Amino acid sequence: MPRVALVTGGSGALGQAITHRFLAAGGVVCVPWIVEAERDRLEASVDAATRSRLMLERCNVGDDDAMAALAQRTRERHGRIDVLVTAAGGFAIGGLLETDRATWDAQLVLNLTTTYVATRAVLPAMVAAGSGRIVAVASRAVVPPAGGLIAYTVSKAGVIAFVQALAQETRGRGVTVNAVLPSTMDTPANRAAMPDVDPRTWTPVTAVADAIAYLAAESSGHVSGTLLAI
């Protein structure tokens, strides 16, 4: 029976690598999307034979009701959700004095609140089934916290605290909660933002996807509360 994964941010650069990794393993993947161009690129990258195992749904992953409804539709269509990967996120540069309230709030919502909302949507059914894997994407750049990107640092550090706390709450209930901590990833956005840096020194998104696949595997049932730096 194919495993069913819900991947927030699954239409972005890292998200597409994660989605393809699960599809290649024979899994079913539900990807909520909000940007049509990203949705179109993901859909075009999947062959016809695999397309039947990709569920693309327009959804604001920061909206509690929308995510709860999406999780319910996924369970109704496929019977369950085995894996949640929270890869929705974004980056903002600026120290405290350069960070206005709008940027602060946006980073907290994009990186931390979306993780909370998606996890709340899937966790009750996982606990009831006594089985589930939750993998969040945090950041190596915030361990230890760095200056100059305070909103991003605090939001991703919050993801780490969320994962470690939830791992304690789900201990012994069949659900594992872990995080991957990539360093700078080789993505089109990062290449555009840092054109003078050699991208060969950056982490390939496929390496991050492989690490997530390990933490999401059925065989990783004794790994929880782990922060896997990549």
Helix (H) or strand (E) holding 137: strand 132-137
Nearest to 31 by CA among 47, 51, 48: 51
Q: Which of 117, 152, 159, 187 is catalytic?
A: 152
Identify the residue whose tokens are 């990107």.
Answer: 149
**214 is known as an active-site residue:** no
Return d(Cα 185, Cα 199) in angstroms, integer.
Answer: 8
Q: Residue 192 corresponds to which amino acid?
A: A
128 contacts: CB under 8 Å, gap ≥ 6: none
Helix (H) or strand (E) holding 179: strand 175-181
CA distances from residue 169 to 76, 154, 165, 175 in whole angstroms, order as listed: 27, 22, 6, 10
Active-site amino acid positions = 152
